[in-house]
Each structure stands twice: as structure tokens, then as C-alpha cells.
Structure 1
């Protein structure tokens, strides 16, 4: 056995080596904005919005007020964000084809003076949306995987109920923008009943995802009823809810909603934070309320050009999410949805990000990179190449530091 001083010397040398590998991130991490470091700006912009709407703090905390006062025209937006005449004209042109709306809350989160702000890019339409000739309205083939009203089924033991087309903010990269239309509408009660009846008749279905649009924009009473009906189906083991309300409308997470969700365990909520700037104190308050109600939270980020297609930004996002007790679950490769090509990135970008996360941060902060197969054929996990050789009696594997290690069987 090596002498103590020799072991200590080796340990200190290794620790120094590890410290060197993270210096590039340490130099930049404090310059990546989060919803906490920009909170003063948020409060100032919030005050301006409240003044413009002649509203109070009570109004701000009312999620129905937020929905009723979404910004939906270029003229409204120009009250807060400097817009050129061309930009106003572009927004009016785009709005005739692709609907847009921004909650007052999400408007306060963005940087009004930075056209390249990652929050702003997700919310405010760009003229490139009308220049995309490669995208499809339904790249996932959802219209061909709907055996009952509101149902999307792509896997043997689970399915989706699409309960609404309504969102607090219509993301510019949305995969279901074809459903947004011109008015908000929830799935009719008789259609929900048909969807539930389909689940009852198929005992292999153990996992039901309620989504939309944003599933949490259903009323409390409708959500309670739907979850109760699912609880009464013996073979349904878990319920999942897809929502971006934590990002765009945290006011929706009321004590009343939390009490309803607490009645129906187990419930898993998957949300979509795409940039650390979206992780705000108001979002944390809503997150805390859900966790206290026993809800398990995961994040499904979408990899988007100019927003999070950078290993340092993605690392910061995932670390911020863990701090507020949301587990980074997936990074989705962007789908080829009509009007969203300007967000597209090569698959190699996602692989590089995962490669630079692995070993450089907690395993909890390393989500799975997913490419959705066209036509509704399901999710494909894509990973860096760690297995270099697989032989009968050994394997040669690559570590996160690009060292080759031989493992004998």
C-alpha cells in the first residue's frame, strides 16, 4: 500500500485536475441570467404592466385575470416593448396565420430591451414563421393515432387525453400549433366521456397523460371530476399532467388546485422550462405548493436555437431546476412543425450538450435526449458514443473525460 503522503499527493493532484475541467463553466455561470438574478427587473416591469392595465396585486395573483388580459396585438405589445413599424406590421401579418398570446406574467419575465432575449424569442412571433416551407402541421401523426375523441395513443400501456387547446402563452415552437385556432376551447364533456370509456375498455392502459394545450387551464371542478373518473378505473395506476403554467402562469397553482391534486395520488406533472431566466421566485412559490400536495415534478425542455442550444446554459437551467426540486427528465429535439424551422438545431448539438453535462454535473441534472420519430412512432433516446468496442469477453468504454477503459467480462 502506498504511503499516506503519497496517497494524499495523488488525491490532491486529481482534485486539481478535476477543478481545471470546470473552469470554463465557472467563468460564465454567473453571467447566465436566471429568474432570481433578474427579479428586480421583473418587479419593475410588473409595475408598469399593472399601471397600464389599471390593475392591482390582487388582480396579478388571479390566474383568470392573467388569462383575460393576455397581450394579443402588436399595438398592446408596443406599450411595453420598443417595436419598429416593420415589426408591428410583421406581427399583424403573422397573427393572421399563427395565433399568439402572452400572459402579463410572462411578459414581465422577459427582457424588454433585448430582441434576442431567450424568453422573448419563445413568446413574440418572428417573420421566419411565415418563411418555413419544410415544416409540417402534424409531424407526429397525431391525427392518425386517435382511436377515440381527444385520445392520442402511441404506446402499448399509456396514452394521452388532449383536453384543451388553451394556453396562457402560445409558444412559438409549439408542436400542436395546428390546434390553437382562433378561439380557446376545451374538449366537450361528451367527448371526455368517450375518451374515458375507451380507457375503461382497454385494461392494458396503466398510465394516462392529461395535456392539451395546457391541462391546468381546465376549471378546478372539471379537473377534479376527470381525476376522480380516472381513479375509478382499476387498471389506471398513475396520472400525469402536461402543463407550462409553472413557466407562463404560476398564479394558476392556487391552494384550491393544490388541494384537488392532493386528493388524487399518484400525480406526476411534467412542465417545460427552457431557460434559467424562467425559474423565478413566483414559479418557485407555485412549485413549493405542488410539492407540498404530493405532486412529483419533472421537466421536459425543448432544445431550441438561440435559447438553450449551449451546454453552459443547459447546465445552468438543470441546476436551477434541481434547486427548486424539479427533476430534469427530457431534452426534446425540436420537431419539424410548420413555422418553427428557425428554432431547429442539428442532432449533434443535443449529443454534444449531453456529453458535456455527463460527469460535469450531478447525474440528476443530466436528462435524456429524445428525438421523436416522425409519424407517431415514438421517442428515440440519443446518447453520446460511450461504448467503443463490445467483444465477447471485454468492452472498451469511453469515460466522460474521453479516457478509454477496458472492462473484462
Structure 2
């Protein structure tokens, strides 16, 4: 298989690009792009393209799978009838600011709502942004106190936003405080940082996440090209710190909606010691309809990988149920294929 992460030679932006004019100046937008329309998108939904991700984008390719994830599109301002601002229904399950308790034995903690990059399909796109959602020390203390007095919760899941955007000192403090709660058996972090901004995974961050309790890191990546040489170094640092790496991806039109793209993604994850964990059906956030892949098509794509990849490469294909109902397994259902295999040994 060819190198999954070729960078454009000679292109190395020095900073994260955060508006349409910067994207145009960097040569990432197609000729004739409507900057006024894209600025209107940016006024509603935050833009951030890190140097690491900008280097992977081929502006000459209108079907570039990295560009599709991060570059704004005027279609984002059109909300389809089925789309809702809070598709996972975080708000009704928030006992204290920053905490979401939807499942009996685990709960989310969102210490901030900033990310290194802003995905154009994000299910929290109405609330995430560079200036949004940073919990104060008092709010974090209240959230930690909630976990301490809720013994049925055995797992704390740090999400957001991206928890690895916290300073290493703040992250270490938070993990230490959660780790002191006896009934919390597992801590988990959901992040895009190791691929989107791998330089943040430095010695200080590695020290911050070296803890006694089991720590799982769930890496969000949707295409094999996101696993650059720099990302490989970051992921090695994490495994050296004793962190177990899991992978989660979203099935996206124009990014990974074919069997070969998913096979390459899952195999690349495994080569970097990342176990594919979840493949998510797209959540119906506003302005994301261009990424939608019908579940029946998703099942067919996964079915095409049956017997082609190791079971280690197999994620669970899930969809969030309405009104905070949690995840439901979408499939695929093997039916006669599975029965025939059993019959023939």
C-alpha cells in the first residue's frame, strides 16, 4: 500500500489557520471560492486547520478527503429538516456544568470546548470554539465532587472539545483528582490531538498522563492519510506512557465511504497500535447533510470487508438514538453468509 500520509512538499504553515482569508492565502481554497459565504460560515461555526493537517491537503483535488473534513463549505449554512442543534441530547443529561450522565456506569466530563481543529461534521459544532466552554476551577471542583458522590459511575470519559488542549499541568491535576475517587476504575480521553496537532504530545504531556489507574485514549481519525510520521511519534509516546489506544471514526461521504478507504484506515490504525473501536453513523448536526451515508449503505461497505481484515481491525458500527437514548448497533448483520460459514466449517 502506498504511504498513507504524503505531505505537500514545501507547504508548512507556521500557525493554525482560522478564517477564510487565511485559508485562501495559504492556497487551500479552490480558485474563485466565495470568501464572503465562507466567512459567514466561520461566523457561525469555528474554523481551525493546523499546520499538520494543512500540509496533507491537496487543493488541486476537489475530492481530497482531508480537505473535506476541515475546510468550510457554504452548504453548512443550510439546515436540513432532520438536523438538530444537540443531536446527542447532552443538555437534558447534564447534572452539573461539564458533566453528561447518559449511561448508568459512566459519564462524560467536558473540561473545555476548544479543539485543535474543527471538523465540519462535528455534533457539538454549535458550542465548540477557541473561546468556548473552559470550566473554571470551581466548576471542575463541582464536577469532580459529582463523580465522587455518584458511586454507580465507574468510568470518567474526558471529552469536549479536546482534553489534550489543556495544559499538561491542568490535565495532570484533573487526572490525579479523578484517580483519587475509589469507585472510578477507568479513565478515558477522547482526542484528535495526536493526529491533528502531534507536537502537543511532548514529554510534559506524556508525564501528565502517566497515572496508576487504567487510562484509555480514544483517537478520532477518519482517513489513513491522517497518520503522518509526526503522528506516529506522538502515538509511540502515548503507548510508552502506558496508555491503551482505541480508534473511533465517523462514516463520511467523500472521506471514507468505500471499502478500500475503511480497510486502509483500520489497517493503519493497527500498525500504530490503535485498536478500531467505534465506527459512528453521522450525527444529524446542522449543516452536515453533505456527509451523510445511509445506514444501509454503511452496512454494505462494512460487509465488503468481511473475511478481508483481521478481527482486530473490526470496529462496532453504531448510531446515537434520538433524545439521548444512547448508542445502538447499526450492523452489519451477516445473515446467510454467517450461517453458510458455520455450516461449511
What is the TM-score with the length of structure 2 in the denominator? 0.94
Q: CA deviation at 1:74?
A: 1.8
Aligned-CA RMSD value? 1.9
Matches within 5 A, 1:52-131: 69-81=15-27, 82-131=29-78
SS in 1 for 2:262: helix
**Compared CA separation, residues 182 and 296, structure 1 to 2 (3 A):** closer
Residues 1:403 and 2:340 aligned together: yes
Could you list the runs of 4 or more consecutive aligned residues of structure 1 that deviate by over 6 angstroms after TM superposition? none
Q: For 2:34 and 2:195, locate their aligned partners in 1 and report how far apart those are by CA, in whole Å.
A: 26
Q: What are the within-5 Å matches in structure 2 for residues 2-401 of structure 1?
A: 30=2, 34-35=4-5, 38-39=6-7, 41=8, 43-46=9-12, 49-50=13-14, 69-81=15-27, 82-134=29-81, 135-181=83-129, 183-387=131-335, 398-399=337-338
Contact 1:265 1:294 in 2 (8 A): no
User: Shift in Å at residue 182 of structure 1?
Assistant: 6.6
Gaps of 5+ in 2: none
Q: Which has more helix, going by share of residues?
A: 1
**Counterparts of 1:376 and 1:281, CA distance in 2:** 38
* Distance in 2 of aligned mates of 1:143 and 1:253: 31
Number of residue-to-residue matches in the alignment: 343
Q: CA deviation at 1:403?
A: 3.4
Separation in 2 of the partners of 1:292 and 1:333? 32
CA distance in 2, matches of 1:326, 1:344: 25
Relative to 1, partners in 2 of residues 1:171 and 1:264: Cα closer, same or farther, differing over 3 Å? farther
For residues 142-165 of structure 1, what are the alpha-carbon distances to aligned partners after superposition, in whole Å with 9 as ceiling and x for unaligned?
100101111111111000001111
Aligned counterparts of 1:184 and 1:176: Cα–Cα separation in 2: 12
- Distance in 2, Cα, partners of 1:241 & 1:159: 12
Which ranges of structure 1 fall in alignment gaps of 5 or more residues?
1-28, 51-68, 388-396
Alpha-carbon distance in 1 for matches of 2:259, 2:320: 21
Q: Provide Cα deviations, 1:115-154, integer angstroms capped at 9, x if missing partner.
A: 3211001111111111223211101111001011111111
Partners in 1 of 2:56 and 2:212 — Cα distance?
32
Distance 2:233 2:73 in 1: 32
For the 8 Å contact 2:30–2:60, the answer to whether it is kept is no
Partner-residue secondary structure (3-state), 1:223:
helix
